Structure 1
Amino acid sequence: MSAAPAAWRLPEQRRSTVPTPDDLAALRAAAGAAAPPEIPGVEVTGVRYGDVPCVVCAPPRPRGVLTYFHGGGYRLGSAALFAPFAARLAAATNSRVVAVDYRLAPEHPFPAALHDAMTVHERVLAEGGPPPAAVGDSAGGGLAAALVAACPRARVAVPRALVLASAWLDLRCTAGSYGSRAASDRLFSHAAARQAAGQYLQGHDPADPLASPLLADLAGFPPTLLLASTDEVLLDDTLTMASALARARVRTALDIQRGVPHAWPSVHPDRPESAAALETIARFLAQEGT
């Protein structure tokens, strides 16, 4: 469908105007790197799609491809750090999972991450076969949904399915659950969301649907599964998105779990609730032929 690079059809990339704060650098250093995942039967390798590094987790005979976008407020995390979850996702869904190491803010403000997501998506499409499904959690969920919203603009096929876990979908940060769930969400907060949004957007309009896909035209979205916790500040992002997708006549599945942390499937992959979430994701994708 497309004849020109995605970079020509997406918002122009910009130079950062915000220095890296010392506290953010300290958080990145403290996060370190996860040990290489050891999931029986899943091979983990580093691959570049264009100029975007990725971690690929593949079972012996995968039946499809998933692109995975990690969380971290667009400013923390890496594909390697979330490889343990990506490997579990590959095993649960019997899919080749491409975990995207997209560029982070504030060094690389909006829309750098979206350009990276589109580059990987187009390279995977070029491999042949059905379009990949897109999976993301927290900010990665917002990026996965933004990728779907950008595909018609870029004139490329949308992901065949979408999975959003604890997704950050509205960078205006005005949802009521920022207040009502402030005491129960120990991982994310209204203050952190506003700070992260500022470092990512750097003056760009937060109401841009490619930054806040909750505001996108959802009519062309693929079947979507949304997961969230009753206790997280992003609960309303998930509930509002699910309602909007349903109104747009998109096949929508919603799974709200009580008392689990924000982004629990990837942040706490060893928890029983995370294994249950993977089963839910696997069933949904199997129904969608992925």
Structure 2
Amino acid sequence: MHESMGSPPRPALPGVDIRDMRYGDVPGVVCTPSQPRGTVLYFHGGGYRMGSMALSTAFAARLAIATGARVVAADYRLAPEHPFPAAPHDAAQVYERLLAGSGVPPVVLGDSAGGGLGAALAVACARSGVPVPSGLVLLSAWLDLRCTAGSYRSRAATDQLFSHEAARQAADQYLQGHPADDPLASPLLGDLSGFPPTLLCASTDEILLDDSVAFASALARAGVPTSASYVPGVPHAWPSVFLDLPASARALDVITRFARPLLAKEPS
């Protein structure tokens, strides 16, 4: 195993053990249900400049219980102190250690910027010949940092959590002059032909709607098995941010039905 020894376990939520781990230089939180089957690697959102594994633990624990998988929430470095490509490097480091430890690619899940990071990881794997994730789940994913999609304008009045101005500021702080059309920053622009089965979930009221719609279309054109769920009347990244909404419970069911067939039982 390439993982470091974990810290003493935190008080576990019913049905899941929660503890801190390190994967090389990258800290993370691991949520493990009883008799786990497979691994989900989770990247939180926050525009590449906010968020943390601590804030993501409640969702990661619920995801572990629902899917029956061990969920690793990675605490990748954030801008502006750590601009691109720090986040993709951290994502790759955790992914490579999980893959080396079990020999089985994890399912990768991310919300908002974390969804973009998960998709960028899949682009990097396909480019380099590393096994791609077993599956990819993208929740309200930010997939094009050029920030030119029509939904930035058409959904400006209905998205209460994210705005075009905030997206442009976050992209500037993250890229710091690096071209936004690099597929490792904007995976919508990458070669998606080697992608794994992918599930996209987005609100029809959010400014990133067009990112998900365009990505689903690009995956389908590339011959990738693709599922999409577009839900009206819910906020950006609702499944991971607003845990107690009925719509979040329904989204977790959709995620579980997609992910469970892809989660291979890892060697003990």
Q: Shorter-chain TM-score category?
A: over 0.9
The TM-score, its normalising length taken from structure 1, stands at 0.86
Q: What is the SS of the residue equivalent to 2:102?
A: coil
Alignment of 1:236-247 (within 5 A): 236-247=210-221
Matched, 1:132 2:110: no
Contact 2:201 2:212 in 1 (8 A): yes
Q: Does 1:217 align with 2:191?
A: yes
- CA distance in structure 1 between the aligned counterparts of 2:223 and 2:127, rounded to whole angstroms: 21
| Per-residue CA distance 1:20-46 (angstroms, 9 max, x = gap) | xxxxxxxxxxxxxxxx88631101000
| RMSD value, Cα | 1.2
| CA spacing shift, 1:143–1:244, aligned 2, 3 Å | same
The residue that corresponds to 2:26 in the other structure is: 52
1:112 counterpart (86, 93, 106): 86
Q: What CA distance in whole angstroms lies between the structure 2 residues aligned with 1:37 and 1:235?
A: 38
Q: 1:249 aligns with which of 210, 220, 223?
A: 223
Q: Distance in 1 between matches of 2:113 and 2:160?
A: 16
Instruction: State how 1:273-284 maps to structure 2 within 5 Å.
Output: 273-284=247-258
The answer on whether the counterparts of 2:40 and 2:107 sit within 8 Å (CA) in structure 1 is yes
Partner residue, 1:85: 59
Distance 1:232 1:266, change over 3 A: same
Separation of aligned partners in 1, 2:38 and 2:263: 9
> Are 1:39 and 2:10 counterparts?
no
- Displacement after TM superposition at 1:153 (Å): 3.1
The one-letter amino acid of 2:197's match is P
Alignment match, 2:115: 141
Q: Distance in 1 between matches of 2:260 and 2:66?
A: 11
Q: Deviations over 1:83-141 (max 9, x none)?
A: 10000011110000000000000000000000000000000001124210000000000
Equivalent residue letter for 2:35: R
In the TM superposition, 1:1-290 aligns within 5 A as: 39-290=13-264
1:286: how far off?
1.9
**Percentage of matched positions with identical amino acids:** 67
The residue matched to 2:233 in structure 1 has which SS?
A: coil
Given residue 258 of structure 2, which amino acid in structure 1 is its aligned partner? F
Q: Is the Cα–Cα contact under 8 Å of residues 122 and 133 in structure 2 kept in the other structure?
A: yes
Query: Is the contact made by 2:47 and 2:167 (CA closer than 8 Å) also made in structure 1?
Result: yes
- Aligned residue identity for 1:97: V
Distance 1:86 1:37 in 2: 15
Contact 2:16–2:32, Cα closer than 8 Å, also in 1: yes
TM superposition shift of 1:272: 1.1
Q: Which structure 2 residue ranges, 5 or more long, are not aligned? A: 1-9
Task: Give the CA deviation at 1:270.
Answer: 1.4
Counterpart of 1:33 in structure 2 is: none
Q: What secondary structure does 1:82 align onto?
A: helix
Q: Deviations over 1:1-28 (max 9, x none)?
A: xxxxxxxxxxxxxxxxxxxxxxxxxxxx
Give the AA of the match of 2:178: H
For structure 1, list consecutive stretches of 5 or more residues without a partner in the other structure: 1-35
